[in-house]
Structure 1
């Protein structure tokens, strides 16, 4: 009997030690979302901007990252894990910890619905509302394997964050068009973006913003304009409808599709824009063709 009591007390002591000092979170919230991990990750980034004191997100992958949230006078750690259920649904698990009050939270959580729990649930309900609204603002349709177009083009090279890609495009749209028109350069199709580097960990993006043109002897020599040719290449293709600010949702969709199908791709999307945002209108009718190049078999 003494041995049983000793073992029971040892197990109980170990459990309490784990719960109060080793358990990584004070509270856990989980829910399902009709979105792929990349879309959820980008929405968390946008949501993070809504807090008064903005602290950076620590990125491990689009399925796992850590966010620091200001909650009154405390900083809470939100550790996000996003587990794909199928091609359109993900399970979201958020482990929440208040390092300054962790012992107190763990002591109270099992016995009462604390302000810490209520505040955590309220914030994540607000996030879920934001995610649902965002999902209604765009559409992505994967069309499958296609071929990247061929064109000679005039480009400006930009480096920014993915969120500011559209702002950078708009800043140079009139600049590029004006110089080409003044030099009587003939356009040969809608403008497009060619991604050069997409760095998720550092949240940076470098890309060429280009106008297809007819090559001629009248091409202006300008320090900010480069001329190049886009060559045909096999690619996965999707149609994106929505604001160009969030067109990278199609990038994530194509990456997710490629992973599920076991297709090797080069994460450097090309986007072709068929609407001028300056003209306004229903953003869900704006059309963008998005290409994700396939890797060559020898790469």
Structure 2
């Protein structure tokens, strides 16, 4: 009986060592709890990664599982980020880190001392956490629930670009659109808005129309690069965003999280209505954008 117990203990120890040294899929596990939703974490992680040398994130439509390849000094690391929403406004992030070249030696030495690998990994995760905390302090999103986007006639320019460049596209065309319309005697009516016509979440790219509501004249002038149309109204879920318009797309993700939680079918074609002109400056947290995510009523039938 005693020999069996010793054999069982020995087998368990050997099995654990084999798993720990050769099978365990990571060398280090870090965990962070943050006060924001997965979409904001996803986008911040990509921006932060781009700010580092020799770092890239594999693009995927999966918002909550991201793989980052990072080289520091002579070592190459793989960071697997797993984001888990806890509530509408809180999430946990688990980071599974592997040193591709020194995995075995790290696993042998880590239990006995804090290795250079551990120090570097902790410092890197804390650096991201600092960047994320700074970012989420710069905006607010509140989901207002069901609403209706009212139809309006508009002049618009069509643009294609990375999601993160959306605000630059607006700024580059705001004065042009505004001045050309006024010069042609077209009366403006209402707030400018963005109509997203295609959202590629795998590549973080969008096609959108930057629109200015107008009073439709009896005859429309022919203008280079400017078109006219009626944007039809629709039922939607709505969010209010406060902050720099560079990050107003964070509200898109908040609405997706809300829709998923409440089992609401939506179309990934948001409209953003902008209440402030960034060129006038002021406290960015006082800037307001209203975000409308259309309901997919066909899928509910």
TM-score bucket (shorter structure): over 0.9
Pair 16,79 (structure 1): closer, same or farther in 2 beyond 3 Å = same
| 2:159–2:207 CA contact under 8 A, matched in 1 | yes
The superposition leaves residues 137-170 of structure 1 with CA deviations (integer Å, 9 ceiling, x where unpaired) of 1111211100012101111111111111101111
Q: Quote how far apart the aligned CAs of 1:9 are.
A: 4.0
Aligned to 2:287: 286
Tell me the distance in 2 between the aligned counterparts of 1:60 and 1:294: 21
Aligned to 2:70: 69
The yes-or-no answer on 1:35 pairing with 2:32 is no
Give the match's secondary structure for 2:101: helix
Q: TM-score, normalised by structure 1?
A: 0.94
| 1:58–1:67 CA contact under 8 A, matched in 2 | no
Q: How many matched pairs?
A: 299
The superposition leaves residues 27-55 of structure 1 with CA deviations (integer Å, 9 ceiling, x where unpaired) of 00012111111111111112112202242
Q: TM-score, normalised by structure 2?
A: 0.94
| 1:179–1:220 CA contact under 8 A, matched in 2 | no
Give the match's secondary structure for 2:264: coil
Give the match's secondary structure for 1:224: coil
Give the match's secondary structure for 1:66: strand
Tell me the distance in 1 between the aligned counterparts of 2:299 and 2:82: 34
Tell me the distance in 2 between the aligned counterparts of 1:140 and 1:56: 26
Unpaired segments ≥5 residues, structure 2: none
The superposition leaves residues 55-113 of structure 1 with CA deviations (integer Å, 9 ceiling, x where unpaired) of 23342511111111232222211101111112221111000111111111111111111
Unpaired segments ≥5 residues, structure 1: none
Tell me the distance in 2 between the aligned counterparts of 1:33 and 1:193: 30
| CA root-mean-square deviation | 1.7
Aligned to 1:78: 79
Q: Which moved more, 1:19-28 or 1:65-74?
A: 65-74
The yes-or-no answer on 1:219 pairing with 2:220 is yes
| 1:183–1:218 CA contact under 8 A, matched in 2 | no
Give the match's secondary structure for 1:55: strand
The yes-or-no answer on 1:137 pairing with 2:108 is no
Aligned to 1:124: 125
